[in-house]
Amino acid sequence: MTYVVVGAGPAGVVAAETLRKADPNTDVVLIGGEAEPPYSRMAIPYYLTGKVEEAGTYLRKTDGHYDTLGIQYRQGRVKSIDADAGKLNLEGGDTQDYDQLLIATGASPIKPPVEGLDLPGVHHCWTLEDARKIIELAHEGADVVLIGAGFIACIILESLVERGVNLTVVEMEDRMLPRMMDETGGDMIKRWCEKKGVNVRTGARVTKLEPRSSDGEDTLTVDIDNGDQLPAHLVVVAAGVKSNTGFLDSSAVEVKTGIVVDNHLRSSVSNIYAAGDCAEGPDFSTGGWMVHAIQPTATEHGRIAAMNMAGKPIEYQGSLIMNVLDTMGLVSVSYGAWQGVEGGDRAEVADEHGFRYLRLEFDGDVLVGCLSLGRTDHVGVLRGLIQSRRHLGEWKDHLMVDPHRFMEAYVDGSQ
């Protein structure tokens, strides 16, 4: 039996290790598409600020980790698949046979259709290679424009500020974190960033980038749709991601937003599974299918897909939307169905000046989602309440009056 895992991010690495443990007398091959040993994108912000060296981003830090486990690590990129023959075609002409295949190829950043995004000085912040280029250009006092103010953009934002750059964020939606925060929360984060010296433009679109030369330096001019022009030594594009599924184009593997998988993370082809940012998997809150491009979902997918591949069936309960951000000291959290459900109830309390906000969403007497800003204590309890789908009974009424009492509700119900 040969198990092959394509993609050596968190989903692929956890899957390869799980396969090795669950089915010891087999071949496990892990194919990584980047030059570096398997690493965590989540650690890139720490690399940008010098808190860790490049090796500090590696997922496994012991020399020879994969060899010791008996996992064959192959560096290469898969170009296409012959699912009938159980064969992968790699760039450069090599092939790899498999009996069971896990696709864990992650996602790639989207480049919006804006003129000038191919100019030198414009980078995504997705790979270690991107991070090296950003470090070169994001020196103290440099003018930097960050396109996008979503989850990944806000993570990078903090690192750029720590590097001492003069930062402008341009977001076309009406608020920061439009897919993670409502207007109240998004506006609070915007005011917080502005207080810390970041220039934030929401409801603004970058229309064009042009090269310019000033004081012997090659820089850029960034045009905004209101006519403003921003100087930039560096432009970082963080405008969303798309699952990496191109090499499946002529195969029978069904792809929508990502690779469509069932509750066992199996694709439409019976010996092919998918995990992580490339998989459109079960969603805990809606019972539907979604790509949740976050690391906890990737590792959970990897583990469960591997167990199922190894003939130890586990039904996946679905991933919970779970975004936690620390934006220069302001912690924001969104869990589950934070936008609410039809016929549900909402309780919210905001302290605009104190940068504190809590919004709870109920379906009947069950907490199904929440937003929280400005608190670090007990937010895990909110997640626990959502994931346990606990009926809160009269505590629902108390929380409608004072949402801050969620810890009491949790403790009371645990007795």
**Residues lying near ligand FAD in the complex (CB under 6 A):** 6-12, 31-34, 41-42, 44-45, 77-78, 104-107, 125-126, 152, 155-156, 244, 247, 276-277, 293-296, 298
In angstroms, give the least distance from the CB of 278 to ligand FAD.
6
Burial 194-204 (b: 16+ CB within 10 A, else e): eeeebebbbeb
Residue with tokens 């810390």: 196
Give the C-alpha distances (Å, rounded to integers) separating 350 from 106, 236, 404. 37, 32, 11
In angstroms, give the least distance from the CB of 296 to ligand FAD.
6
Sheet of 206-214, strands arranged across: 206-214, 217-224, 229-232
Write out the H or E segment, with its range, that includes residue 368. Answer: strand 366-373
In angstroms, give the least distance from the CB of 5 to ligand FAD.
10
In angstroms, give the least distance from the CB of 233 to ligand FAD.
20
In angstroms, give the least distance from the CB of 136 to ligand FAD.
17
| Closer residue to ligand FAD in complex, CB, 60/390 | 60
| Closer residue to ligand FAD in complex, CB, 31/371 | 31
In angstroms, give the least distance from the CB of 143 to ligand FAD.
21
- Angle between helix axes 394-401 and 406-414 (nearest 10 degrees) is 160
Rounded-to-integer distance, Cα 258 and Cα 275, Å: 10
Under DSSP, the state recorded for 414 is H
| Closer residue to ligand FAD in complex, CB, 3/247 | 247
Instruction: Measure the N-to-C terminal CA separation of the chain; round to a whole number of Å.
Output: 49
| Closer residue to ligand FAD in complex, CB, 5/399 | 5
In angstroms, give the least distance from the CB of 79 to ligand FAD.
7
Q: Which residues contact 88 (CB under 8 A, 6 or more apart)?
A: 4, 6, 31, 78, 80, 81, 82, 95, 96, 97, 98, 101
**What's the alpha-carbon Rg for the chain, to the nearest Å?**
23
